[in-house]
Amino acid sequence: MVITIVKKKLLLGIGLAALALLGSEVEKTLADNARVVKYIPTTHKIVALTFDDGPGKKTPEILSILRARNVRATFFVVGEMVEKYPQYVRDEFAGGHEVGNHTFTHVRLSHINKEKLLNELDRTDRLLAKTLGIKCTLFRPPGGGYDHTLLDEASRRDYTIVLWSVDSHDWYSSGEGIVRSVLRNTRPGGIILFHDGIGPLPTSKVLPLIIDRLKEQGYEFLTVSELLRYYEERPKYSVD
């Protein structure tokens, strides 16, 4: 009887220790997940338009479209493109749009070591601080790939890693295909991916129609940071 009681206490202790360890891992995972957003769980009809890889030659046209429709967006810029077109990124910022870091050379982060990763982030952060006087808080990895190294660095820099829930496929689809894909897949809290730094692309041709159709459906357009304020539950993402 005494041996049985001791065994039960031992098993109970092991179980509690395992639960405590599991709890700490769960807390770490939740902390990591809070750093990565793909969409915002909400019932409000709000979305964020995002543009990658710029600034580029199409950026002024896109800014003109957004200004005419009183829409603000978020631009994830590449450092070497900011060096090439500094006035365009100034125009983005002056127009009330948000600017985030998209690395310096648009390298896939899985192809480089930590030292090169830090260099990609640092160079663009410093350039945006010099050009716009801002501290970046949003980062989008090229291709949307991330790992624990990037999550740790994002936490250290107070970054939010921003992915997307709707890919317009504007870099290879026809105009009709882009409109159809975006309208079919947009949901409240969505983050929509476009591009303004590569091309020629049909983005500027279809953007007015997409904005107008979504407005007809009752959608309001916010920057990503504004969208983040509408969290109604915590999304769940993790590194596989």
**CATH number of the CATH domain containing 194:** 3.20.20.370
Provide the domain count of the chain.
2
Does residue 6 carry a pLDDT above 80? no
- Global pTM value: 0.83
Mean pLDDT for the chain overall: 86
Specify the 3-state DSSP secondary structure of 61: helix
**Do 60 and 19 share a structural domain?**
no
Q: Would you state the pLDDT for residue 28? A: 37
* Whether residue 167 lies in the annotated active site: no
Tell me, yes or no, whether 45 lies in a domain: yes
**Do 27 and 81 share a structural domain?**
no
**Do 16 and 91 share a structural domain?**
no
Summarize pLDDT for 189-205 with one digit per residue, the tens: 999 999 998 777 899 99
Tell me, yes or no, whether 235 lies in a domain: no
Summarize pLDDT for 18-53 with one digit per residue, the tens: 333 333 333 333 334 558 999 999 999 999 999 999
* More confidently predicted of 2 and 139: 139
Does residue 100 carry a pLDDT above 50? yes
Tell me, yes or no, whether 234 lies in a domain: no
Neighbouring residues of 63: CB distance < 8 A, sequence distance ≥ 6? 88, 91, 92, 95, 97
Does residue 7 carry a pLDDT above 90? no
**Do 48 and 6 share a structural domain?**
no
d(CA 84, CA 96): 21
**Do 7 and 84 share a structural domain?**
no
Range of the domain at 49: 37-228
For a pLDDT cut of 90, what percent of the chain falls above it? Answer: 76
For a pLDDT cut of 70, what percent of the chain falls above it? Answer: 82
**Do 117 and 16 share a structural domain?**
no
Tell me, yes or no, whether 26 lies in a domain: yes
Q: Would you state the pLDDT for residue 172? A: 86
Tell me, yes or no, whether 238 lies in a domain: no
Tell me, yes or no, whether 177 lies in a domain: yes
**Do 110 and 28 share a structural domain?**
no
* More confidently predicted of 110 and 105: 105
Catalytic residue among 52, 53, 125, 196: 52
Catalytic residue among 125, 170, 195, 196: 195
**Do 108 and 13 share a structural domain?**
no
One DSSP character per residue, 148-166 reads: HHHHHHHHHHT-EEE--SE
Specify the 3-state DSSP secondary structure of 37: strand
* Whether residue 195 lies in the annotated active site: yes
**Do 177 and 72 share a structural domain?**
yes
